Structure 1
Amino acid sequence: MTLEQANQIIGAAILKGGELGLRPLSVAVLDAGGHLLAFQRQDGASTLRPQLAIGKASGALGLGISSRGIAEMAAERPGFVGSLGAIAPHGMVPAAGGLIIVDGEQRPIGAVGVTGDSSDNDEACAAAAISAVGLMAQRA
């Protein structure tokens, strides 16, 4: 995952949010090691959005499933998921909007976290952005 790709993903996610008429988005892109590559917060986005976007992406990478999958896991095993926040270096947000980006062999090369609107809309923007730049999101 390059900085150029990360910035393209952010631009595509924000563009999709505009097309859908969503509230101001914040988008974080992490590399495969969980390090922040790029982040942008649209004008008017609330102050916790950077941490939320990073937490969605970081949690997905940390557990190897989308942040939607983490939310589903939290419903089944709330104690387990609740305990992860303390050990996850960038937090963990169990809500849709965080997707793992993979290469042709389904190996993680990074993750994107989007926040600002409903979780479903956040995830739709993340998925559209990954696709728009010619990359792939991890299959369920």
Structure 2
Amino acid sequence: MALKGILSSEVGVHASASKWFNLFAKELHKVQNTTDRVHKTRLLEGDDWHSIGSVKQWTDIVDGKESHYKERLDAIDEENKTIVYTLFDGDFSKDYNIFKLLFQVIEKNNGAFIKWTIEYEKVNENVEPPYGFMDHFTKSTKEIDVFLLKA
């Protein structure tokens, strides 16, 4: 069994690609108001939420349990509507040496696709791939889409 892996999921959404990318690139602090799966967020390091290298603390519900972790913003590619994060500490550090999250918005007629990709390295072979976190991101996407359609 390999320690490194990649999970990927695409979710069709109805809100425009620009609304989606703007939320994650410029208004990430609002995500906690868009889904019940995110309970609390706060900026720990950096000038603002959207500067490269900024670090945030997140409290989410994953697999029915409260999960705490930190997230660092690594890159924003506006042309390709892609954002790269590293998730670490808290609940991640016991199971994963590396946990990269790639968020990409793919334009389509009448909406967009949101593509989530998780690149991970488990601490040992007994750790399951992060299916619960992928499920969390997929289900949150559907809830956030409802919020963006009303905005």
Q: TM-score range by the shorter chain?
A: 0.3 to 0.5
Q: Give the structure-2-normalised TM-score.
A: 0.35
Which has more radius of gyration?
2
TM-score (norm 1): 0.36
Bigger share in strand: 2
